[in-house]
Amino acid sequence: MQKDTQFVLIHGAGLGAWIWRDVISKLKYSSIALEFPNRKQENSKQQNAIHLKWEDYISYLKDQIETHSHPKSKLIIVTHSLGGVLGLELSEQLKDRVNGFIGISASIPKDGGSFVSSLPYPNKLIIGTIMKLFGTLPPEMSIRERLCDELTSDQTEEIVQNYSPESKDLYFSKINVGLPHVPRLYIRLENDKEFDLPTQNRMISHFAPDHIIDLESGHLPMLSQPKTLAAILNSFASTLV
């Protein structure tokens, strides 16, 4: 295990740090799987996620990095789905330590945009209206069909049972940071039902990555293809050492 480089793994909306466990076991570098502040493991039903602010997420994630990373290690930020917007903000705040950035079907808005604003029309209007009216917890059927279509029955049940609603602020807050000035990789998921290819291509146009890798996977390759995903992350890190 190489100590001078560390992966910082940021999951997407509703999920948890546990989704990275099979990838972590196959990484050649140290890693930190970050956890959002309102997980069910932390009695999130008693915490009211609607009151969390953008700053609460950033502070909570940054504290984990500062607590669990070696102060002299270089960081590779790895973001999934909505985690992309958080990764951009963290990269700005930790820019002296960040050595690379990877987006896995990640949300990458234009500078000054939000997660919702980054979506193509009319998705941004539809999703924005639904969230404002009904909240951020999708129907169980939607979770099963859009996130879990390539997963085992056990993995699917784990996703459904542990899915946590996020604060609306996380979706609508505008981030005022640019792209990190480090090597950037986007992993485009060819079978993704949550972020389809046109949506991912829109994110790629905002992200201007140095490299794009196409992976024949649904929305959660860290569960369906952990070995392949770990190999991609290891290969990217090896070019930075």
**CATH code of the domain containing 208:** 3.40.50.1820
The whole domain housing 33 covers 2-238
Lookup: tokens for 113: 């945009």
pLDDT of 108 strictly over 50? yes
pLDDT of 47 strictly over 80? no
User: Residue 91: its pLDDT value, please?
Assistant: 97
* Burial status of residue 127 (CB atoms within 10 A of its CB: 0-12, 13-18, 19 or more): middle
User: Residue 173: its pLDDT value, please?
Assistant: 93
Predicted structure pTM score: 0.93
Q: 87 with 77: CB under 8 angstroms?
A: yes
Most confident of 35-44, 47-56, 129-138, 139-148: 139-148
Q: Which residue has the higher pLDDT, 134 or 185?
A: 185
Q: Say whether 6 sits in a helix, a strand or coil.
A: strand
User: Residue 75: its pLDDT value, please?
Assistant: 97
User: Residue 49: its pLDDT value, please?
Assistant: 62
Nearest 5°: the CA angle 74, 224, 117 is 65
Report the mean per-residue pLDDT for the chain: 91
User: Residue 50: its pLDDT value, please?
Assistant: 66
Distance CA 76, CA 190 (A): 24
> How many domains does the structure of the chain reveal?
1
| pLDDT band, residue 240 (cuts 50/70/90) | very high
Rg over alpha carbons for the chain, rounded to the nearest Å, is 16
Residues 189-231 have pLDDT tens digits of 999 999 999 999 999 999 999 999 999 999 999 999 999 999 9
